[in-house]
Chains A and B, each alone.
Chain A
Amino acid sequence: MEQKTQAEKINRQKMPEQNVSSRIRNFDEVPLGYDPQTAQREASRCIMCKNPKCVEGCPVEIDIPAFVKLIKEGKFLEAIYKIKEKNALPAVCGRVCPQEDQCEKMCLLGLKGEPVGIGNLERFAADYEYTQPLAEVKKPTSPTGHKAAVVGSGPSGLTVAADLALLGHEVTIFEALHEPGGVLIYGIPEFRLPKAIVKREIDYLKSLGVKVFNNMIIGKIFTVDELFDRGFEAVYLGVGAGLPVFMGIPGENLNGILSANEFLSRVNLMKGYEFPDTDTPVYVGNHVAVIGGGNVAMDCARTSLRLGAKRVTVLYRRSRREMPARLDEVIRAEEEGIIFHYLTNPIRYLSNEQNWVKAIECIRMELAEPDESGRRNVIPIAGSEQTIEFDTVLVAVGAGANPVLSSTTPDLKLNSRGYYIADPVTGLTSKPRVFAGGDIVTGSATVISAMGAGRRSAQAIHKMLMGIQDTPTTD
C-alpha cells in the first residue's frame, strides 16, 4: 500500500509537443516522445493491480503491467520485447491507438485522477528499441512447411503475417499499392505517424522471413482460387474498406471537391506536399471545408493547414460530444486554429464559371433522441439554410466496401453493404480456408481493432494449418 500512495503523488507526465506556430508549417510529428527519465517516472505511477483491467481494454491483450514495470526498472529493451509478444506494431499503436477508450479507460488511476500514459510508454519503448543496435530478431520456431497468403498490408494483414511467421509458417503478403502499409502509409499523415516508422515495422516483418510483393491486386493479377492453385494453404483478406463514400448531393463532382482518400493519398502516399520535387500535385485553396467528424476528417483539416490553406473549417452534423475523432486530435486541431461548425450539414455545392466549387449551402441540424445503438440522430432544421464560401472541399464521411476482390470471388459471402461476412472469433469466411478481418469485415474502425482481428485469425489459421481441431468453425 505504501507503494500506492507514493505512486499517486506523481502527476501524469506530459509528452512534449512541437509548438503550434511551427508545427502548422511542417509535416513533422507533433508529439515528440518521452525521454528515459520521464518514461520511468510515468511508469512508476502504475499501481500494479493484481487483476489488471487495462489488459482487458487492449484488443491484442498486451501484458501492460509487465512492460510498464520493465520501463520503471529501466529495462527498456525487455519492455519492448514484452510488448512484441502480443503486438507486432508497437511504434504505430503507441501513436495512433485510441488508448483513452481502451487500456487507459480501464486504468484504476483514471477513476480519481489521470490514468497511466500507457500509449506514451508503448511508444517510448518502441522508439527506444530503434535507437539501439539491431537486436537479435526473435527467430520463428522451426519451419512448419505451410504457406499462407495475406492480402493487404495494413494493420490487420501485418499482424497476421507477423504472428504466422513467428509460428514458423511461410508467409507472403500481396499489396495493391506500390508501398506496403495500407492506411498507415496512404491515410495517416506524417505528422501523426512518420512513414519511417511504418517502414521500420515492415522491415521487422521481413526480418521474420515474410515476403512482401507490392503492385499485386488480388482479384486482378490472381484470383483467390489461383492463390490456392499456387500452393498457399490459407488466405487472409485484410484489404481494408477502400471505397470512398460521397454524400450524393448536387454539385459533388465539381472541381475542388475531393474524397478524403484522394486528398490523403496524394499527400501521404504520393508525397504531394513535396511537389514539385515529387510529381503528384495536390491542390489546396484558401478556404477549405472538411465534411465529417472522424479521425480522417481531423487529418484532412490539419493537413490542409500545413499545405497553406488560410482558413480550414470542419463541418460536422452532430455536436462536439458525438465526434468520433480522438479527443487529443480534436484538441490539437483546435489549437492549430481549425474552425468547427457543429450541427451543420452540406446540402449542395455551388460553382463558379470554371466549374470549381465556390460555396457550400449548409443546413443546421438538431440532435434527436439516441437510437438503439445509443448514437444520437440528427434532423435538419427547416429554413436554416446558409451559404458559406469555400474553394476546396474534402469529403470525409466514411468509407464503403471495395468490390475489386469480392467481385471476382463469387463464393465469398457479403452482407448487404458489401462487407465480407466472417466469423467474429476466427475470421473464417464462407469460403473454405479463407479468413478476413479489419475494415473489410467491420466497416471503418481503428488500427488496433483490425490488429485484434488479425491476431485472432492468425491463431485460427495456425490451428487449421497444423490440423489442431479444438475450435468449432462456421463450416
Chain B
Amino acid sequence: MNSKKEHPCQQVSISEDSYTIIEKEQLAKRTICKMIIEAPLIARKARAGQFIILRVNETGERVPMTITEKDPAKGTITIYFQVVGKTTALMRNMKVGERFKDVVGPLGQPDEIEKIGKVVMVGGGTGTAVLYHITQAYRALDNYLVGIIGARDKDLIILQKEMGALCDELIVTTDDGSSGQKGLVTEALNNYLKTSHDVRLVWAIGPLAMMKAVSAITRPFQIKTMVSLNPIMVDGTGMCGCCRVTVGGKIRFACVDGPSFNGHLVDYDELLKRKGMYLNQERESLLFSVR
C-alpha cells in the first residue's frame, strides 16, 4: 500500500466527471493512440495496476483500459490503446474536446508495491503502457529498476524515453534489430537473469504468449513474477464472471481479484482460448461499422 492516502476533502465535487478528451496523440506508426481524459474523481483515486471501463456512445460496449498515468492536480488520467476492433477504431477517430459517454473506475485491485530491491519490468507492445504506471510506483519506493521493453521495430516502441527516466537500466529489443538488441524481450530477460543474480521480482505485461514465456523463463530461477491480464469483461465489478481465469487451480475474476496475478500460477492456454470466444462477432461488428 504505497500511495499517500489523499484526504477526501471536498475539492472535487460529486458531479459526473466530464470524460472529455484533453489531449490525443498517435504513436507507433498510428497503431497506438494516447489519450488524456478529464476524470478528476478517478485521477484522485487511481493507483498502479488499476483500470477503467469506458463506453464511447449510447450503443457502445464496455471496454476495459488500464490507466497508464494519472494527474490528480489536473484531474486527468492517461490511457494508451491499440486499434484492434470497432470500439478502439471509433476512439481513434474521436477528437480533443469530445466526450466519452461513460467512464467508470478505478477498477481492480491496486498492486501492492514494496521496496524490495532489484525489479525487472518487462513490457511488450502496448503492455509497456500498462507497465509504466506500476514502474512509476516502484520508482517512488526507490527500487533498483531494470526495464526491458520491446516491439517489432523501432517505430513501434512506446514510452522509451519515459521508461528510461524511471529505470536504472533500460534494455530495448526489436524483432528486426532496428533499435536496441535484435530479438524478443524474453531472450533479453533470460540473458539478464543468467548474469544478474539479485533480481527479486519480475513484472511482465504484454501479449499473453509473451507473459506465458516470461513466466516459463523465471520459474527455474524461482523469481516471483507478476503479470497483468486483460480478459474479456462486461461490467468489471465482479457481477458477470466473464473475465474468469484459472489461477493456481482456482477460478478468479480478473476484474475484482486482479488484473495482476502471480504469473507462475496463471492458466494461459485457457485464457487464450477464452479471449477468442467472440472473435467472429468482433469481426462482424467491425465490418458492420465500416459498411
- Is A220 within 8 A of B256, CB to CB? no
- Is B242 within 8 A of A220, CB to CB? no
The 8 Å CB contact of A265, one of B14, B41, B104, B240, is B240
Instruction: Name the residue on B nearest A400 (C-beta).
Output: B238
Q: Which residues of A contact B45 (CB under 8 A)?
A: 220-221
Report the minimum CB–CB distance from B111 to chain A (whole Å).
Answer: 15
User: Is A358 an interface residue, CB under 8 A from the partner?
Assistant: no
- Is B256 within 8 A of A215, CB to CB? no
Q: Which residues of B contact A221 (CB under 8 A)?
A: 41-42, 45, 105-106
Q: Which residues of B contact A266 (CB under 8 A)?
A: 234
Docked complex: B249-278 residues within 8 A CB-CB of A: 251, 256, 270, 273-274, 276-278
User: Is B241 an interface residue, CB under 8 A from the partner?
Assistant: yes
User: Is B153 an interface residue, CB under 8 A from the partner?
Assistant: no
- Is A178 within 8 A of B59, CB to CB? no
Q: With A253-B251, A276-B284 as given contacts, are A402 and B61 in contact (CB-CB < 8 Å)?
A: no
Query: Whole-angstrom distance between the alpha carbons of A283 and B285 in the complex?
Result: 13
- Is B107 within 8 A of A280, CB to CB? no
Stretch of A126-134, A222-230, A318-326, A333-341 at the chain-chain interface: A222-230
Q: Which residues of B contact A354 (CB under 8 A)?
A: 273
Q: With A178-B101, A220-B106, A283-B278 as given contacts, are A244 and B59 in contact (CB-CB < 8 Å)?
A: no
Report the minimum CB–CB distance from B281 to chain A (whole Å).
Answer: 3
Report the minimum CB–CB distance from A89 to chain B (whole Å).
Answer: 21
Bitwise, A267-298 to B at CB < 8 A (1) or not (0) is: 00111001111111101000000000000000
Query: Whole-angstrom distance between the alpha carbons of A276 and B59 in the complex?
Result: 10
Q: With A255-B273, A278-B59 as given contacts, are A404 and B237 in contact (CB-CB < 8 Å)?
A: yes
The 8 Å CB contact of A279, one of B9, B86, B239, B256, is B86
Q: With A178-B55, A220-B45, A220-B106 as given contacts, are A402 and B274 in contact (CB-CB < 8 Å)?
A: no
Q: Which residues of B contact A233 (CB under 8 A)?
A: none
Query: Whole-angstrom distance between the alpha carbons of A222 and B10 in the complex?
Result: 12
User: Is B102 an interface residue, CB under 8 A from the partner?
Assistant: yes
Docked complex: A213-241 residues within 8 A CB-CB of B: 213-217, 220-223, 225-226, 229-230
Instruction: Name the residue on B nearest A395 (C-beta).
Output: B241
User: Is A424 an interface residue, CB under 8 A from the partner?
Assistant: no
- Is A261 within 8 A of B241, CB to CB? yes
- Is B251 within 8 A of A246, CB to CB? yes
User: Is A150 an interface residue, CB under 8 A from the partner?
Assistant: no
Q: Which residues of A contact B239 (CB under 8 A)?
A: 186, 242-244, 261, 265, 402
Q: With A230-B10, A265-B235, A270-B234 as given contacts, are A255 and B285 in contact (CB-CB < 8 Å)?
A: no
Q: With A271-B59, A283-B277 as given contacts, are A276 and B241 in contact (CB-CB < 8 Å)?
A: no
Query: Whole-angstrom distance between the alpha carbons of A375 and B237 in the complex?
Result: 32
- Is B102 within 8 A of A275, CB to CB? no
Range for the number of chain B residues in contact with chain A = 35 or more
Query: Whole-angstrom distance between the alpha carbons of A178 and B104 in the complex?
Result: 8
- Is A253 within 8 A of B246, CB to CB? yes
- Is B107 within 8 A of A403, CB to CB? no
User: Is A114 an interface residue, CB under 8 A from the partner?
Assistant: no
Q: Which residues of A contact B86 (CB under 8 A)?
A: 279
User: Is A259 an interface residue, CB under 8 A from the partner?
Assistant: yes
Report the minimum CB–CB distance from B259 to chain A (whole Å).
Answer: 14
Report the minimum CB–CB distance from B239 to chain A (whole Å).
Answer: 5
User: Is A103 an interface residue, CB under 8 A from the partner?
Assistant: no
The 8 Å CB contact of A253, one of B15, B107, B274, B289, is B274
Range for the number of chain A residues in contact with chain B = 35 or more
- Is A213 within 8 A of B14, CB to CB? yes
User: Is B36 an interface residue, CB under 8 A from the partner?
Assistant: no
User: Is B62 an interface residue, CB under 8 A from the partner?
Assistant: yes
Instruction: Name the residue on A nearest B59 (C-beta).
Output: A278
Q: With A229-B8, A281-B281, A281-B282 as given contacts, are A220 and B105 in contact (CB-CB < 8 Å)?
A: yes
Q: Which residues of A contact B276 (CB under 8 A)?
A: 255
Q: Which residues of A contact B105 (CB under 8 A)?
A: 217, 220-221
Query: Which of A177, A186, A213, A277 has the most B CB atoms < 10 Å from its CB?
Result: A177
Q: Which residues of B contact A178 (CB under 8 A)?
A: 55, 62, 101-102, 104
User: Is A3 an interface residue, CB under 8 A from the partner?
Assistant: no
Query: Whole-angstrom distance between the alpha carbons of A204 and B59 in the complex?
Result: 24
- Is B288 within 8 A of A276, CB to CB? yes
Instruction: Name the residue on A nearest B271 (C-beta).
Output: A253
Q: Which residues of A contact B9 (CB under 8 A)?
A: 229
User: Is A172 an interface residue, CB under 8 A from the partner?
Assistant: yes
User: Is B117 an interface residue, CB under 8 A from the partner?
Assistant: no
- Is B8 within 8 A of A215, CB to CB? no
- Is B16 within 8 A of A214, CB to CB? yes
Query: Whole-angstrom distance between the alpha carbons of A404 and B87 in the complex?
Result: 27
Instruction: Name the residue on B nearest A213 (C-beta).
Output: B16
Q: Which residues of B contact A366 (CB under 8 A)?
A: none
- Is B241 within 8 A of A259, CB to CB? yes
- Is A255 within 8 A of B61, CB to CB? no
Q: Which residues of A contact B104 (CB under 8 A)?
A: 176-178, 215-217
Docked complex: A56-94 residues within 8 A CB-CB of B: none
User: Is B120 an interface residue, CB under 8 A from the partner?
Assistant: no
User: Is B244 an interface residue, CB under 8 A from the partner?
Assistant: yes
User: Is A458 an interface residue, CB under 8 A from the partner?
Assistant: no
Q: Which residues of A contact B15 (CB under 8 A)?
A: 213
- Is B274 within 8 A of A255, CB to CB? yes
Q: Which residues of A contact B240 (CB under 8 A)?
A: 244, 259, 261-262, 265
User: Is B60 an interface residue, CB under 8 A from the partner?
Assistant: yes
Q: Which residues of B contact A259 (CB under 8 A)?
A: 240-242
- Is B59 within 8 A of A242, CB to CB? no
Report the minimum CB–CB distance from B106 to chain A (whole Å).
Answer: 6
- Is B241 within 8 A of A279, CB to CB? no
Bitwise, B151-191 to A at CB < 8 A (1) or not (0) is: 00000000000000000000000000000000000000000
Instruction: Name the residue on A nearest B63 (C-beta).
Output: A279
The 8 Å CB contact of A177, one of B41, B107, B235, B282, is B235
A residues neighboring B (CB under 8 Å): 172, 176-178, 186, 213-217, 220-223, 225-226, 229-230, 242-244, 246, 248, 252-253, 255-256, 258-259, 261-262, 265-266, 269-271, 274-281, 283, 354-355, 402-404
List 5 tightest A-B contacts by C-beta distance, closest first. Answer: A281-B281, A262-B240, A355-B273, A276-B288, A215-B104
- 27 A-B contacts (beta carbon < 8 Å): A176-B104, A177-B104, A177-B237, A178-B62, A186-B239, A215-B16, A215-B17, A215-B104, A217-B104, A220-B45, A221-B105, A223-B8, A242-B239, A244-B239, A246-B251, A253-B274, A255-B273, A255-B274, A255-B277, A261-B239, A274-B59, A275-B285, A279-B59, A281-B281, A283-B281, A354-B273, A355-B274
Given A176-B237, A253-B251, list of 4 further CB < 8 A pairs? A265-B234, A271-B59, A278-B61, A402-B237
